[in-house]
Amino acid sequence: MTIPLIPDYRVGSIYELTAEALKNMGKKLVLADLDNTIARYREAEPSAALFQWKEQLNLAGIEVFILSNGRKPCRSRRFAQAFGVDFISHAGKPRRRGFDAALERTGFTAEETLMVGDQIFTDIWGANHTGITSVLTEPIALDTVFRRIRYGVETPFRAACPHGEGLE
């Protein structure tokens, strides 16, 4: 029996998720958390590196979709539009509804999909519960006491999945 709070993979950043590795895994869709996964909190525009990462995935036939728990849909919408991807904000992770809605909207199956996020109790738990491959990334910034405490609580689950193992 698998533990739903342990990610399938763990990486330092999204940039370790290469098109070649994802293609070898049979992945066609990357669900990406927004805040602290692909961008800093309140960062309005995607970085040049983020655009380059998405372009490499797209060239390999892999789509990127933002799945965020952000309660400000304007932020997710503006960022996703600037990034040129579809999105769902206020997704309700770890509940299935946001994951299922993203799969329905894109037409991909859970087996063809990977979720990358920085939080165990939302991104990883939700992906595992939905049958989607889960990838835990290090948060971009631990800039508040709350985020440092949350990260500390997640430490045992992070440690249960060795960094980078299996992503070649």
Q: Which two tokens stand for residue 49?
A: 């590196």
Taking only the tens place, the pLDDT of each residue in 72-131 is 778 999 999 999 999 999 999 999 999 999 999 999 999 999 999 999 999 999 999 999
List beta partners, residue 136: 10, 117
User: Considering the domain boundaries, does residue 167 fall inside one?
Assistant: no
User: Considering the domain boundaries, does residue 6 fall inside one?
Assistant: no
Count of domains observed in the chain? 1
Return the biggest CA–CA distance within the chain: 41
Q: Which of 98, 43, 101 is nearest to 75 (CA)?
A: 43
CA distances from 47 to 44, 61, 143 (A): 9, 21, 19
User: Considering the domain boundaries, does residue 45 fall inside one?
Assistant: yes
User: Considering the domain boundaries, does residue 166 fall inside one?
Assistant: no
- pLDDT at residue 1 above 50? no
CATH of the domain at 101: 3.40.50.1000
CA distance 168 to 165: 8
In the chain the first and final C-alpha atoms are separated, in Å, by 25
Taking only the tens place, the pLDDT of each residue in 10-56 is 999 999 999 999 999 999 999 999 999 999 888 889 999 999 999 99
Q: What is the residue range of 153's domain? A: 11-159
User: Considering the domain boundaries, does residue 63 fall inside one?
Assistant: yes
User: Considering the domain boundaries, does residue 2 fall inside one?
Assistant: no
